[in-house]
C-alpha cells in the first residue's frame, strides 16, 4: 500500500488535482451532544454524542497543475478559474468526493464523500505565485478507502 498525497476533487467521472504545492491540509471534526447539570451536585453529564460533518481547510499555491509548471499570471489565472468551477456546487445532487490520497496504481485511496465548498479565498497580488485557501465541508464524517465513485 502506497500513500500518495494528491488532494483532489472527483465529480462526474472527472478527477481534478488541486494546484500544487499544497502547504496546509487540516481537518476539523466535532461532536454534537447534550449537557446536563444537576443543581447542588458536582460535575455534569454529556449524552447523545454524534459526529458532525468535517470541515477541511486547504491552503496552496498555483505553482503547478497536474505536474505542469505555471509560469505566467495568465496560466495561474486559468487554473484559478478551473479550481472555481471544480468547487462550485449548485444543488445537493452536485456534491463531490474529496481525496487526500489517490494512487490508482496501488489502489490506495482516502476520501470524504458528500463534499461542498463553503469558502474560497485567493490572492492575486504576487505576479510570480498566486495563493489560495479553500474550506470544504464533508456532510459524511466517514473516511473512505474506496476508489473514485465507489
> What CATH architecture is 5-31+43-138?
Beta Barrel (2.40)
Q: Give the per-residue pLDDT at 136.
A: 98
What pLDDT, on a 0 to 100 scale, did the predictor assign at position 1? 66
The whole-number pLDDT of residue 48 equals 87
Q: Where are the alpha helices (DSSP H) in 11-54?
A: none
* 21 preceded by a cis bond (ω within 30 of 0): yes
The pLDDT of residue 67 = 84
**pLDDT tens column, 56-73:** 999 999 998 888 888 899
Looking at residue 31, what is its pLDDT? 93
Q: For position 91, what pLDDT does the model report? A: 87
C-alpha dihedral (9, 10, 16, 19), degrees to nearest 10: 10
The DSSP result for 97-108, as a single string, is: EEEEEEETTTTE
Which residues does 82 contact at the CB level (< 8 Å), separation at least 6? 16, 65
Maximum Cα interatomic distance, the chain, rounded to a whole number of Å: 68
Using an 8 Å Cβ cutoff, are 23 and 133 in contact? no
The total of other beta-carbon atoms located within 10 Å of residue 89's CB is 16
Residues in the chain where the model's pLDDT stays below 50? none
Average pLDDT over the chain, rounded to an integer:
94
Amino acid at each position: 500500500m502506497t500513500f500518495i498525497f494528491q488532494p483532489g476533487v472527483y465529480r462526474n467521472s472527472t478527477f481534478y488535482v488541486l494546484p500544487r504545492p499544497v502547504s496546509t491540509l487540516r481537518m476539523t471534526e466535532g461532536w454534537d451532544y447534550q449537557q446536563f447539570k444537576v443543581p447542588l451536585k458536582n460535575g455534569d453529564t454529556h449524552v447523545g454524542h454524534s459526529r458532525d460533518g468535517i470541515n477541511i481547510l486547504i491552503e496552496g499555491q498555483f505553482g503547478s497543475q497536474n505536474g505542469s509548471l505555471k509560469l505566467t499570471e495568465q496560466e495561474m489565472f486559468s487554473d484559478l478559474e478551473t479550481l472555481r468551477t471544480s468547487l462550485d456546487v449548485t444543488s445537493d445532487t452536485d456534491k463531490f468526493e474529496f481525496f487526500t490520497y489517490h494512487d490508482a496504481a496501488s489502489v490506495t485511496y482516502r476520501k470524504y464523500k458528500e463534499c461542498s465548498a463553503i469558502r474560497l479565498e485567493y490572492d492575486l497580488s504576487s505576479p510570480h505565485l498566486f495563493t489560495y485557501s479553500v474550506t470544504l465541508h464533508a456532510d459524511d464524517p466517514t473516511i473512505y478507502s474506496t476508489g473514485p465513485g465507489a
